[in-house]
Amino acid sequence: AQSVTQLDSHVSVSEGTPVLLRCNYSSSYSPSLFWYVQHPNKGLQLLLKYTSAATLVKGINGFEAEFKKSETSFHLTKPSAHMSDAAEYFCVVSDQGYSTLTFGKGTMLLVSP
Amino acid sequence: EAQVTQNPRYLITVTGKKLTVTCSQNMNHEYMSWYRQDPGLGLRQIYYSMNVEVTDKGDVPEGYKVSRKEKRNFPLILESPSPNQTSLYFCASSPLSPGALPEQFFGPGTRLTVL
């Protein structure tokens, strides 16, 4: 079975400080993993994806994530937060043989000046 | 421009009045899906379709219907809406490939309020 747990419902950072959004997954086979971002009153935009190539994945807007199979984690990081990063972030898993994506419940990132 | 479109974007209706939310994609994708988004619950899948005339239930299908008569369109039908279907709805599409599903492309969302 596939499942995703986002460990924090809210994360608050100051502008210019690092961002860490945590995601753990459960998968039976070789998963694909994604991070999507949703800005207020907007649709979902793909930030980055892991599909069994390099374990360190770089995405848009300076975000990156590292796939760690031993820890079943796919945490999202950014070295320096910007005010425009304030949004909700979703970790998503897709497993081989499954016809569906499973979304985490989301992490709201708050960025203060 | 490659995109997924949904109509209407906003809808307020009353309990029991049938409604349809349309979804169309111009990327020739085989896979299409409907999700609802509720605060604190993330996105939950309602129905999906692997190709024309092939549909299947997701996690929360009760109270919804879908059809896939053409590859590009995947309408969501609420035969008798109830207040607990008040939500933000997203349509998405993706190509099919061997192995796990690739990333999906999302429409802009439809905010539905059922009074």
Least CB–CB distance from A96: residue in B43, B100, B108: B100
| CA nearest neighbour of A92 among B2, B44, B57, B34 | B44
Whether the CB of B109 is below 8 Å from some CB of chain A: the reply is: yes
Instruction: Quote the pLDDT of residue A95.
Output: 77
Whether the CB of B106 is below 8 Å from some CB of chain A: the reply is: yes
Q: Which comes out higher in pLDDT, residue A53 or B40? A: B40
Q: Which residue of A has its CA nearest to B104?
A: A46
Confidence of residue B5 (pLDDT cuts 50, 70, 90): very high
> Using one digit for the tens of pLDDT, what is the confidence trace for A41-90?
888 999 999 987 788 999 999 999 999 989 999 999 999 999 999 999 99
Question: Exposure of B5 by Cβ count < 10 A (0-12 exposed, 13-18 middle, 19+ buried)?
Answer: middle
Could you give the CA distance from residue A89 to residue A101 in angstroms, rounded to a whole number? 15
Q: Which residues of chain A does B43 touch, with a Cβ-Cβ cutoff of 8 Å?
A: 44, 90, 103
Instruction: Quote the pLDDT of residue B80.
Output: 97
Read off the pLDDT of each residue in B30-59 and give the average, rounded to a whole number. 92
Q: Enter the tokens of residue A111.
A: 């960025």
Place of tokens 């109830």: B82
Mean pLDDT of chain A: 91
Could you give the CA distance from residue B82 to residue B63 in angstroms, rounded to a whole number? 8
Q: A1-10, A38-47, B17-26, B36-45 — which one is most confidently predicted on average?
A: B17-26
Q: Which residue of A has its CA nearest to B109?
A: A43
Q: Which residue of B has its CA nearest to A48?
A: B103
Instruction: Quote the pLDDT of residue B98.
Output: 73
Could you give the CA distance from residue A31 to residue B23 in angstroms, rounded to a whole number? 28
Which of A14-23, B41-50, B96-105 has the lowest average pLDDT?
A: B96-105
> Using one digit for the tens of pLDDT, what is the confidence trace for B70-94?
999 999 999 999 999 999 999 999 9
% of residues, chain B, pLDDT over 90: 84
Whether A29 shows a pLDDT value over 90: the answer reads no
B90/A31 CB distance under 8 A = no
Instruction: Quote the pLDDT of residue B78.
Output: 97
Whether B97 shows a pLDDT value over 90: the answer reads no
Task: Report yes or no: B107 and B89 within 8 Å, Cβ to Cβ.
Answer: no
A105/B99 CB distance under 8 A = no
List of residues 6+ apart from B17 with CB closer than 8 A: B81
% of residues, chain B, pLDDT over 70: 98
| Full 3-state SS string of A18-65 | CEEECEEEECCCCCEEEEEEECCCCCEEEEEEECCCCCEEECHHHCEE
Q: Which residues of chain B does A90 touch, with a Cβ-Cβ cutoff of 8 Å?
A: 42-43
Instruction: Quote the pLDDT of residue B11.
Output: 96
B45/A101 CB distance under 8 A = yes
Q: Which comes out higher in pLDDT, residue B98 or A65? A: A65
% of residues, chain A, pLDDT over 70: 97
b or e along A80-111 (b: 16 or more beta carbons within 10 Å of the residue's beta carbon)?
Answer: ebeeebbbbbbbbbbbbebbbbbbbbbbebeb
Instruction: Quote the pLDDT of residue A100.
Output: 79
